[in-house]
Amino acid sequence: MTEESNSGIKIPADTIGRPKYVNQAVALILASLLVGCGGGSGSPGSAAVSCGPYPEQTTSLYILPYEVGTGHRMVHGNCTAPGTSHQTGGTRQYAYDFEMPIGTILIAARSGEVSAVEQSNMDGTRVPGEENFVMITHDDGTHGRYFHITQNGSMVTLGQMVNQGDPIALSGDSGESHGPHLHFVVEPAGQSPLVPRGGTPVTFLNTGPHPNGLREGTVYAAGPYPGCNCAP
């Protein structure tokens, strides 16, 4: 199964905009940013003005998709430069890439029903369409999509109901990816979760302020949230 298997059009995930480095120095400087799918970025930390608007964070329905007490660097943000994976106007413009080692526990950013699981692919193939993923459809029909999980890394099954904060998968480096990371995006209601349509702006309840979305290069720590089963 590929990301677009329901659409009939196979657009390899995260293939847009691989950076072409003009020299080694630039490559070295940017090395820490290259774990993202599609690689490269616009100008780190500066989302395009046309990006958003973002929902009020204090009433956000989402928490960061990793465990409370952990933190991960967001390496590829929303509405990035033309030719990059999450470019403005593209099918992944409101996705976030979080750098994390293979095997990191991913949790449900929001409660819902598991609507798709793929976990058969090996890590590190770099082949478009070989992404493993878990998708969770929320009660308003929107879909949370968790990409590049490791082979056999799903901790949930199709149709299972999960609560916000439940462990759902182990992160990985499957498919068209440039290094171990999680690609997370929320898609609007009204279509199959398998079809990327650019996503929708999201904020996360349990981390520092980000009124204009998460900023590239910043480590976001996941803190406690109302109802969490975590230490005070």
Residues that bind Zn ion (CB under 5 A): 37, 95, 97, 183
User: Least distance (Å) from Zn ion to the CB of residue 96?
Assistant: 7
User: Least distance (Å) from Zn ion to the CB of residue 97?
Assistant: 4
User: Least distance (Å) from Zn ion to the CB of residue 66?
Assistant: 15
Contact 52, 201 (CB under 8 A): yes
Reading the block at residue 33, the tokens are 């940013």
Give the β-pairing of 112-118 and 133-137. Answer: antiparallel
**Of residues 37 and 155, the one with the C-beta less far from Zn ion:** 37
User: Least distance (Å) from Zn ion to the CB of residue 95?
Assistant: 5
Q: Cα 106–112–117 angle (5° rounding)?
A: 60
Give dist(CA 14, CA 93) in Å, integer: 11
**Of residues 73 and 160, the one with the C-beta less far from Zn ion:** 73
**Of residues 40 and 112, the one with the C-beta less far from Zn ion:** 40
**Of residues 68 and 170, the one with the C-beta less far from Zn ion:** 170
Longest CA span, the chain: 49
**Of residues 95 and 136, the one with the C-beta less far from Zn ion:** 95
End-to-end CA distance of the chain: 41
User: Least distance (Å) from Zn ion to the CB of residue 177?
Assistant: 8
Give dist(CA 213, CA 201) in Å, integer: 8
